[in-house]
Homo-oligomer: A and B are copies of this chain.
Amino acid sequence: MTNDRFLRACRREPVDRTPVWFMRQAGRYMAEYQRVRAKHSILDVCKIPDLAAEVTLQPIERFDLDAAIIFADILLPLESMGLQLAFKEEQGPVIFNPVRREDDVTRLRHVEPDAFRFSFDAISMTKKALDGRVPLIGFAGAPFTLASYAIEGGSSRNYLNTKQMMFGRTDQWHALLRKLSDVVVTYLDNQVRAGVDVVQLFDSWVGCLSPADYGEYVLPHVKSVIDRLKPQGIPIIYFGTGTSTLLPLMRSAGSDVLGFDWHVELDEAWARVGFDVAVQGNLDPVVLFAPLPEIERRVKDVLDRAGNRAGHVFNLGHGILPKTPVEHVESAIEFVHRYGTR
């Protein structure tokens, strides 16, 4: 690997410069991506390995980033289990046959690795094209976040159906999460075999839960996924938003890296989870819309809070927003280089 500072930071080894990548770095804010998407749906780009590899590489060709992340969607495992998934322009993901009753859970298919052949092919092609320049990240939705989409049938404000199953039909909930966990493990295990160097579990919406509910209904499943991935020997990142009060529990799930959003101060949150875990974050994605001096000040602040400790990966606190000015992304990366060099 020509540039291994991202891998080193994940393992809390010293680096010459804080590594940086951005969630959704391959996305709508880039004209190159828009050109591909003008002709292909999101699901097509995920499933046609040439296209997935192409958009994965776009930000790597354009910016001085320290990691690539394979283009895919956190919900792909749901489709393979028999849920009908589509992406609507404004609304985001929609599932036409959501999981509500017990037989909806029973009906979910166990998935053989072949169901994700397209992902693994995209990974192999991307690895070849990267030629060791930077590591490649694979990912999947974490069990709770997959379950919430599967149950609500899309994004949600209150997670009413999800929590109703959790609180009222607890056996059904755990059966669903076990099934989802198994598929996530199969999917990620085979991403590693196909060549990814790191995996990230996206538990994007887990912040809707109280700590007690997270501990009871979610943590055992995340822990089981991470335990089963560990033998692969690659770093595992676990990320969610709105997780301030969940972080100590999330820490106990056993990932190598914890992702923070901007609701926490990086130094305070890192101290709270312990410096024996690497951390990733945590610039508010909206900051990239601010004037450059303000972006600079805030990038520097995140780096100052990380200090000279080993084990910080610079990132946003959530994905890049669609209308982010591309030159601001470029500048933010430069600021990370400027202030994050030892």
* In the complex, A32 has a CB within 8 A of chain B: no
Name the distance in Å between A195's Cβ and chain B's nearest Cβ.
33
* Chain B residues within 8 Å of A211, by CB: 263, 265
Neighbouring B residues of A287 by C-beta, 8 Å: 163, 167
Chain multiplicity (copies): 2
Q: Are A158 and B210 in touch, CB under 8 angstroms?
A: no
List of B residues within 8 angstroms of A284 by Cβ:
163, 210, 213
A265 pairs with B212, CB closer than 8 A: yes
Contact segment of A130-138, A139-147, A181-189, A288-296: A288-296
The one of B167, B265, B291 that contacts A290, using a Cβ cutoff of 8 Å: B167
A291 touches B212 (CB 8 A): no
Contacting residues of chain A (212-270) with chain B, CB-CB under 8 angstroms: 212-213, 242, 244-245, 262-265, 268
Q: Which of A259-287 contact B (CB under 8 A)?
A: 262-265, 268, 284-287
- CB pair B242 A294 closer than 8 Å: no
Nearest residue (CB) in B for A290 is B167
* A23 on interface, CB distance cutoff 8 Å: no
Interface secondary structure of A, over-half rule: helix
Q: Mark A28-53, 1 if CB is under 8 A from B, else 0.
A: 00000000000000000000000000
For A, the interface residue count at a CB cutoff of 8 angstroms equals: 32
Q: Which residue in chain B gives the minimum CB-CB distance to A318?
A: B158
What CA separation (Å) do A245 and B213 show in the bound complex? 19
Task: Report yes or no: A263 in contact with B207, Cβ–Cβ below 8 A.
Answer: yes
Q: Which residues of B contact A245 (CB under 8 A)?
A: 244, 263-265, 268
For window 280-322 of A, CB contacts with B under 8 Å fall at 284-287, 289-291, 294, 301, 321
Q: Is there contact, CB below 8 Å, between A160 and B286?
A: yes
Cβ–Cβ contact A265 & B210, under 8 A? yes
Whole-angstrom distance from the CB of A277 to the nearest CB of chain B? 19
**Which of A163, A285, A321 is packed against the most chain B CB atoms within 10 Å?**
A163
Per-residue B-contact encoding for A156-181, CB less than 8 Å = 1, 0 else? 00111001100110000000000000
Q: What would 14 more interface pairs be, CB under 8 Å, given A167-B291, A207-B242?
A: A158-B321, A159-B286, A160-B289, A163-B284, A164-B286, A164-B289, A164-B290, A168-B291, A207-B263, A210-B284, A242-B242, A244-B244, A244-B263, A245-B263
8 closest Cβ pairs, A-B complex:
A167-B290, A163-B286, A244-B244, A210-B262, A244-B245, A164-B289, A245-B263, A168-B290
A–B complex contacts, Cβ < 8 Å, 23 sampled: A159-B286, A160-B286, A160-B289, A160-B321, A160-B323, A163-B286, A163-B289, A167-B286, A167-B294, A168-B289, A168-B290, A168-B291, A207-B263, A209-B263, A210-B262, A210-B263, A210-B265, A242-B263, A244-B244, A244-B245, A245-B263, A245-B265, A245-B268
